[in-house]
Structure 1
C-alpha cells in the first residue's frame, strides 16, 4: 500500500519570479521580412560583383582576401599563397651529385607519431669512403594518408634530408595506393623556390650566407 503523505508542501512559501515570455511581431513570426533582407543583401553583392567583372575591376582573391568584392578562389586557376612555414607534402633533399641526403638513420620514422614512414637501409659498396659510418635508403616510403603533418620528421632529421617546404597539399586520388609516396617520388619534388638541393638547413627564415651541409666533403 502507498504510504500516506506526512505533510503538505507549503507552496505559498516557495519564492520565485515570473519570467515573461518574449513577444514577436507578426513579421518576425512569419520570417518574411528577414528573408527579404537576406535576398536583398545577396542581390546587392551579386550585381556589384557582376558590374565590377564587366569593367575588369574584379579584385584578386589571393592578394585581396579581405576586400569587399569577390573572395572566392577560382581553383585551380587561382591558388592561395601559403605562408612560408606551411607544412606541405614531404620531399627528400639532394646532394650536389643528385643522391639523397638521407643516411637511413631512422630518426624520422622513430619520431613519427603516426608511424607513416618506412625506411629500408643499405650499405655502400666496398671502396666507398662512406662505408662503415653512413648508410643510404634503399626504400623510403611515406603514407600521406596516415601522416598528420606535425613536422616531427623534419625536426628529428640530423642531415636535413627531409622537408615539408613544397608548398603543396596532397591532391585527391582514386585509390589509397596513390597516396603512398616512394623514394623516387619524394626525390622529384622541389621546394617552393623550385630547388631540390638543400642550401638552407632546417628551412629556417632565408639565410643566404649559410654554407649548408655536404657530408661528401667530410668523408674520410
Structure 2
C-alpha cells in the first residue's frame, strides 16, 4: 500500500498550489518602486549653473574593484571651462558589463560628482551599448543651467562652487556677441 501512496503523496504539494491564485507581476506596465538608496545607474552631477562637478581626479576608477570605470582628466582653460577647478573629466566611461554595483566609486568621489540613480533598466542587445560614455552619464540640464563649457558665474571662485553657494543662472554672454543698441528703435 505504501508503494501506491508514496507517489501520490508527492503530488500533494502540486495539488495544494494548483488552485491558489497566481502572484503575477505586470512588470513593464506596472513598475514596483525601488528603495530610496537603491544602487542603479550612475550619474555625473552638475552645479546649479551647469558646470560639471567631476574634476577628473580618477579616484572613482582607482576605487572600482571590477575595473569598470575609465577616466581621463584634462586641464580647464579660460576659453573652455567644464568645471570650476583646474581640471575636468574629459573622457568618462563606465562599463556596465563589469560593474558590480558596489558603490565604492561613489564613496571615493571628493566632489560628490558621481552618484547612483534608481534607474535599473539598462538591458541592451549590443555589448557596446552597455559602455556608457560621459554624454549618457551627465545629469540632464535643469532650468537655469547652461551646458558647459562656459565661464564660472561672475564674482565667484572655485571655493564658492565647492561650498555650494553658487545658485543657478546663465553665464554671462560672451564678449564676441554685440550688445543690443537701445537707441536703434528711435531711428527712422
**Is TM more than 0.5 here?**
yes
Structure showing greater radius of gyration is: 1
Contact 1:144–1:170 (CA<8 Å) still a contact in 2?
no
Taking structure 2 as the reference length, what is the TM-score of the superposition?
0.67
Which position in structure 2 is the counterpart of 1:3? none
- Work out the CA distance in 2 between the residues paired with 1:151 and 1:137: 19
1:104-183 alignment runs, 5 A limit: 104-126=56-78, 134-164=86-116, 166-183=117-134
Q: Which runs of 5+ in 2 are unaligned?
A: 146-159, 167-188
- Work out the CA distance in 2 between the residues paired with 1:163 and 1:71: 34
Q: Which has the higher contact order (CA 8 A, sep 6+)?
A: 2
Contact 1:108–1:157 (CA<8 Å) still a contact in 2?
yes
Corresponding position: 1:32 with 2:8: yes
Question: 1:27: how far off?
Answer: 3.3
Q: Which runs of 5+ in 1 are unaligned?
A: 1-23, 50-69, 198-212
RMSD (CA atoms): 3.2
Give the number of aligned pairs. 149
Distance verdict in 2 for CA 1:214–1:34, change over 3 Å:
same
Taking structure 1 as the reference length, what is the TM-score of the superposition?
0.58
Question: 1:186: how far off?
Answer: 0.5
Structure 1 stretches of at least 4 aligned residues deviating more than 4 Å after TM superposition: 127-133
* 2:41 counterpart SS class: coil
- Work out the CA distance in 2 between the residues paired with 1:115 and 1:80: 31
* 1:95 counterpart SS class: coil
- Which of 16, 26, 41 is 1:74 aligned to? 26
